[in-house]
Homo-oligomer: A and B are copies of this chain.
Amino acid sequence: MARKNAVYAQSGGVTSVINASAYGVIMAAREASFIDEVYGGYDGINGVLTEKLIDLGQEPPEAIEALRHTPAGALGSARRKLQDLEKNRAEFQRIIEVLAAHDVGYFFYNGGNDSMDTTAKLSRFAAENDYPLQVIGIPKTIDNDLPITDNSPGFGSVAKYNAVSILEGSLDTESMHRDSTKVFVLETMGRNAGWIAASTGLAQRSERDGPHLILLPEVPFDKEKFLAAVQELVSRLGYCAVAVSEGTKDGEGKFLSEVGGQDAFGHTQLGGAGQFIQDLVNSELKLEHPSSTFPTF
């Protein structure tokens, strides 16, 4: 079998470990008998479209080895989402032309749902045009919401960061609650999926530890139930820690960040889901000290 070249490109928001995936692809490709050179797309799919390809074989071994611990996206990334095949065949045609010019038979695309969509489209287009191309999607998302995958690279580091953050905030609040803030609120990312908010639960080693309440996009927010739970926790433990996903919605499907709250003077408050929860606790519960949102505890 004739050896073919490979292209690897990064896409979407970068994670803490996206370059570790790059390292994995490069090292595995070197071992593969059917792959010759590995090229990196500069700024994701943009690098393929503009023929800005980096010959990774020319990089010093130390640079490749360092990828495992290199932050951000080493090759740049792309926010560009390829349009539907019907709407822009020229774009797909161009990609195939560039890949053919460099004798590429393997295309690795490292990204989230949009990128997996791109890989599916490109794979179909190549097959329809009789260009022999293996298109391989490499999962990357902090949200952990890639269909089929169980656990996506990128999620672990975000889970750890958020679990550590709520642990820090909870311990501080616990140690100060008798004469200070009683409710600590941490807003997490996750517009559509609650994995990140849920991961803060890793911090809870005993019933006294935060987080005591986790609000997810998947569960409609029930104001009365929530306030009763906060009140009960503060009465029993003295304090409570709440993790709220930015994507949490009310019973009518409206984001908490859009619902808005009212400050002590009755003015409408805008802000994120964390701000909403903080305002709600402060205005509805008569706790001795107001609640505080990270990082102003």
Interface residues of A (CB under 8 A from B): 13-14, 43-44, 46, 71-74, 76-80, 168, 171-172, 174-176, 178-180, 189, 246, 269-271, 275, 289, 295-297
Contacts and interface: CB of A to CB of B under 8 A. Distances in A.
A79 B179 contact: yes
B296 A189 contact: yes
Given A13-B176, A77-B176, 6 more contacts: A13-B172, A43-B178, A44-B179, A72-B171, A72-B175, A80-B179
A65 B295 CA distance: 29
Given A171-B72, A270-B271, A79 B176 contact: yes
A37 to B, nearest CB: 23
Contact of A14 (B73, B176, B275): B176
Contacts of A269: 270
Contacts of A44: 179
A123 B26 CA distance: 68
A180 B79 contact: yes
A47 to B, nearest CB: 10
A176 B271 contact: no
A77 B168 CA distance: 16
B13 A74 contact: no
Q: What is the copy number of this chain in the assembly?
A: 2
Nearest to A165: B295
Contact of A77 (B179, B189, B270): B179
Contacts of A77: 175-176, 179-180
Nearest to A44: B179
Contacts of A79: 176, 179-180, 289
A78 B175 CA distance: 10
Nearest to A260: B270
A13 B295 CA distance: 12
B180 A297 contact: no
A175 B14 contact: yes
A161 to B, nearest CB: 9
A172 B297 contact: no
A13 B168 CA distance: 13
10 contacts: A13-B172, A13-B176, A13-B180, A14-B176, A72-B171, A76-B176, A77-B176, A79-B179, A80-B179, A269-B270
- Which one of A46, A73, A74, A269 has the greatest number of beta carbons of chain B within 10 Å? A73
Contacts of A13: 172, 176, 180, 297
A289 B46 CA distance: 16
